[in-house]
């Protein structure tokens, strides 16, 4: 099937009435999530994921994807108008976006952010449609050693790109691998790490883990912050939504550069929207003739990061759909959702289930068009929602979480497990340990174990098989170089400075 045939097939799937409806619902929920500080897309997808299990797999994944990239739009609204980033990827947008609001150009900043995001989303869709078939052909030639080493490299890269201490990130990966090993060993039939609970014989349940680590933990952290500062936000008057021609002339190339940055950084493990937006802002500041003016209301400081975060959010799906490997925590959630629906993510999805593969890609463009149309007219409504106190919202969120978790296996054990992981997630936040590497390791761990055993069978127990295969050996060398490089003080200093910026 050619690229254009695939796109037409995808549009036919994405434009079915029920898929359009759930894409719209996902985009609206995602925008709301992006607007409300403290409730990120990771936690929301974790909480709402059980509610999609009764849907058709394509429809459920379209709704979850809509929440993800819808949050990238919504986060820019409060960043620009209130200097309250609803999303981490919108932090840099607040610098120049809110300055434009103070200068009376808040409406123009919102329009530029929306247009840059739509342009990046369109390019992201075309990029995925063009390169996905090429990657699938290459990946189908991978054997067990290559797959194992690719996952190993992904985990190492996520450590390097994780904020904070490398030691903490490595510790989180080890914890994730241990949690992923719990349950019955497929080969020997032995029980591992079940602690006497028969509910753990099939492994640690995915949904309680993610809802606890991200959903419940986020609620606890946000409640703690809300108790310290519960003042209503100050809303500036929104000016005309039409940008000036001079603003558009400066914003267009910045959006194009931000899109290119996002397209490629979104592919990296641990990358996605967050890394893309920060890097795009840094690029604009470095190439500018007046870098000292950044932060005072330059349109380039709005267009570039907004284009980058939306492009990065979309191309993060490419490793998932072609390699079966999640590049960040949200993609790990998508892997869990696909597996619950009986779908094994990887290169064979494109040939075995082309309606799902191309339908999901096409739905991203449809969703971006929806977001462009619905977001600007509803700016006033989104901002007013910020006046709702969090102590009113969190009981509703907890109730939805509990119902969704119980509805998966109909057992109260999952509720208790969620509470335990929620406390663990809160403590991890206090200890400055990121949960994302843990989740990536939890998802990849069982697959790595399987491919390692296959490689050992092919190599008849000789570990040199990872070195005799050129691609596997090359990825191992890259992983070792990345780990060793983190020892050097100059690289550690550069890494700390980059995250500080």
Q: 294 phi and psi, to 5 degrees? A: -65, 135
Compare 98 and 163 and report the one with higher pLDDT: 98
Residue 191 three-state SS:
strand
**pLDDT surpassing 70 at residue 309:** yes
Segment 132-140 mean pLDDT? 82
Q: Is 38 left (phi over 0), alpha (psi -120 to 50) or beta?
A: left
Q: Under a CB-based contact definition with an 8 Å cutoff, are residues 153 and 142 in contact?
A: no
Q: Pick the residue with more confidence: 393 or 169?
A: 169
Which phi-psi region, left, alpha or beta, contains residue 10 (left: φ > 0; alpha: ψ -120 to 50)?
A: alpha
Q: Which of 381, 499, 405 is CA-nearest to residue 32?
A: 381
Cβ burial, residue 458 (10 Å; 0-12/13-18/19+):
middle
| pTM of the complete model beyond 0.75 | yes
* The two three-digit tokens of residue 338, written as one number: 């696909």
| Phi, psi for residue 190 in degrees, rounded to 5 | -75, 150
pLDDT per position as a tens digit, 262-299: 998 888 766 666 778 888 988 998 898 888 888 888 99
pLDDT for 142-161, tens place per residue?
899 999 998 898 888 878 77
Q: Do residues 280 and 91 touch, judged by C-beta distance below 8 A?
A: no
User: Which residues fall within 8 angstroms of residue 419, CB to CB, at 6 or more apart?
Assistant: 212, 216
User: What's the pLDDT at 500?
Assistant: 61
pLDDT digits (tens, 9 = 90+) for 412-445: 999 999 999 999 999 998 988 888 889 889 988 9
Rounded distance between C-alpha atoms, residue 313 and residue 306, angstroms: 11
Under the banding of pLDDT at 50, 70 and 90, the label for residue 228 is low
- pLDDT grade for 107, boundaries at 50, 70 and 90: confident
pLDDT tens-digit map of 330-356: 888 888 888 888 888 888 888 888 898
Task: Single out the residue of 289, 305, 278, 308 nearest to residue 498, CA to CA.
Answer: 278
The stretch 356-367 carries a mean pLDDT of 90
Q: Give me the pLDDT at residue 21, please.
A: 94
What share of the chain has pLDDT > 70, as a percent? 89
pLDDT in tens, 25-76: 999 888 887 777 656 777 788 888 888 888 898 999 999 988 888 877 777 8
Is the pLDDT score of 2 beyond 80?
A: no
Q: Look up tokens 């055993």; give the residue.
A: 453
Question: What sections of 211-328 are H helices per DSSP?
Answer: 217-228, 245-265, 272-287, 300-315, 317-323
For residue 88, what pLDDT band results from cuts at 50, 70 and 90?
Answer: low
**How is residue 326 written in tokens?**
């999640």
């Amino acid at each position: 099937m050619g690229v254009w045939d695939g796109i037409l097939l995808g549009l036919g799937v994405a434009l079915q009435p029920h898929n359009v409806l759930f894409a719209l619902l996902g985009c609206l929920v995602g925008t709301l999530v992006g607007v409300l500080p403290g409730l990120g897309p990771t936690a929301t997808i974790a909480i709402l994921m059980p509610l999609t299990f009764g849907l058709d797999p394509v429809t459920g994944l379209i709704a979850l994807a809509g929440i993800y990239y819808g949050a990238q739009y919504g986060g820019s609204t409060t960043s620009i108008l209130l200097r309250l980033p609803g999303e981490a990827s919108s932090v840099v947008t607040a610098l120049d976006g809110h300055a434009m609001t103070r200068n009376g150009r808040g409406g123009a900043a919102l329009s530029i952010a929306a247009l840059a995001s739509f342009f990046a989303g369109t390019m992201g869709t075309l990029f995925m449609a063009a390169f996905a078939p090429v990657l699938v052909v290459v990946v189908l030639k991978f054997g067990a050693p290559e797959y194992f080493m690719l996952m190993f490299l992904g985990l190492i890269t996520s450590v390097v790109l994780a904020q904070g201490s490398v030691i903490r990130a490595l510790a989180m990966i080890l914890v994730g691998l241990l949690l992923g090993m719990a349950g019955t060993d497929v080969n020997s039939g032995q029980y591992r790490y079940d602690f006497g609970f028969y509910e753990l014989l099939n492994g640690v349940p995915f949904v309680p883990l993610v809802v606890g680590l991200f959903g419940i933990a986020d609620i606890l952290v946000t409640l703690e912050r809300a108790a310290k500062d519960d003042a209503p936000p100050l809303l500036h008057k929104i000016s005309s939504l039409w940008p000036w021609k001079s603003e558009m002339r400066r914003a267009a190339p910045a959006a194009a550069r931000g899109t290119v940055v996002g397209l490629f950084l979104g592919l990296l493990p641990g990358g996605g929207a967050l890394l893309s937006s920060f890097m795009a802002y840094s690029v604009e500041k470095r190439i500018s003739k007046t870098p000292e003016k950044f932060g005072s209301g330059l349109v380039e400081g709005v267009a570039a990061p907004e284009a980058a975060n939306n492009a990065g959010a979309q191309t993060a799906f490419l490793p998932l759909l072609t390699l079966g490997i999640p590049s960040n925590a949200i993609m790990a959630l998508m892997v869990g959702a696909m597996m619950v629906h009986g779908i094994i993510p990887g290169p064979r999805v494109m040939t075995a289930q082309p309606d799902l593969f191309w339908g999901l890609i096409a739905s991203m463009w449809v969703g971006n068009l929806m977001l462009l149309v619905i977001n600007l007219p509803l700016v006033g409504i989104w901002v007013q929602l910020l006046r709702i106190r969090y102590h009113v919202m969190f009981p509703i969120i907890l109730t939805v979480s509990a119902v969704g978790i119980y509805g998966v296996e109909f057992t109260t054990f999952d509720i208790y497990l969620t509470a335990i992981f929620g406390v663990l997630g809160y403590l991890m936040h206090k200890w400055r340990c990121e949960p994302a590497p843990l989740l990536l390791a939890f998802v990849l761990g069982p697959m790595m174990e399987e491919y390692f055993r296959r490689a050992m069978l092919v190599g008849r127990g000789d570990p040199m098989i990872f070195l005799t295969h050129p691609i596997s050996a090359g990825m191992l060398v890259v992983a070792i170089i990345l780990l060793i490089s983190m020892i050097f003080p100059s690289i550690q200093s550069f890494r700390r400075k980059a995250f500080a910026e």
